[in-house]
Amino acid sequence: MWRKEAATNYSITPCVICGNDFGLGSVYPVASGDQGQDMGEMCPTCLDYLNRRKADAEDSTDGNWPAREWPTLEDLEEARRRYPFPMFETGEDLVAAAVDEEADRRLTRQTIVWSMDREMID
């Protein structure tokens, strides 16, 4: 889950899973591929569905079951309570804070409020 960087950034986007538009809020889920690449923003409805779907497996505790340890809707709600506002009011404020590459990397790391370790499939 990522924290929105600037309040003036886009607020509504299509879900990478279902394609429906949804409001990002101050924190939003981001789907990642097997290689760690970001695929895009995911709506809370799909996050909830995928979390419920992982319980449908015969043995969801199997070491390679792909959906283990995803954030839940409760995790999303808690993150939104913890971070009720974007990091900056405007994109200009964000640019002003990213004075060099290290500052930019630090700000990018601060947008990630929940992440799971990359999964290795044998």
- Residue 119, domain member (yes or no): no
Provide the residue-wise pLDDT of the chain in tens; the chain has 122 residues. Answer: 999 999 998 999 999 999 999 999 999 999 887 677 788 999 999 999 888 877 666 655 555 555 556 788 999 999 999 999 999 999 888 888 888 888 878 888 888 887 766 554 44
- Count of domains for the chain: 1
Q: Which residue range(s) make up the domain with 57?
A: 2-111
- Residue 116, domain member (yes or no): no
- Residue 121, domain member (yes or no): no
Q: What is the pLDDT of residue 121?
A: 46
CB 42 within 8 A of CB 31: yes
pTM over cut 0.85: no
Q: What is the pLDDT of residue 71?
A: 87
- Residue 91, domain member (yes or no): yes
DSSP 71-101: PPHHHHHHHHHH--S-SBSSHHHHHHH--SH
Determine the Cα–Cα distance for residues 103 and 98; give it in Å rounded to an integer: 5
Dihedral of the alpha carbons of 96, 6, 115, 122, in degrees to the nearest 10: -90
Q: What is the pLDDT of residue 44?
A: 96
- What tokens does 103 get? 């500052």
Q: What is the pLDDT of residue 52?
A: 82
- Residue 17, domain member (yes or no): yes
Determine the Cα–Cα distance for residues 11 and 8; give it in Å rounded to an integer: 8
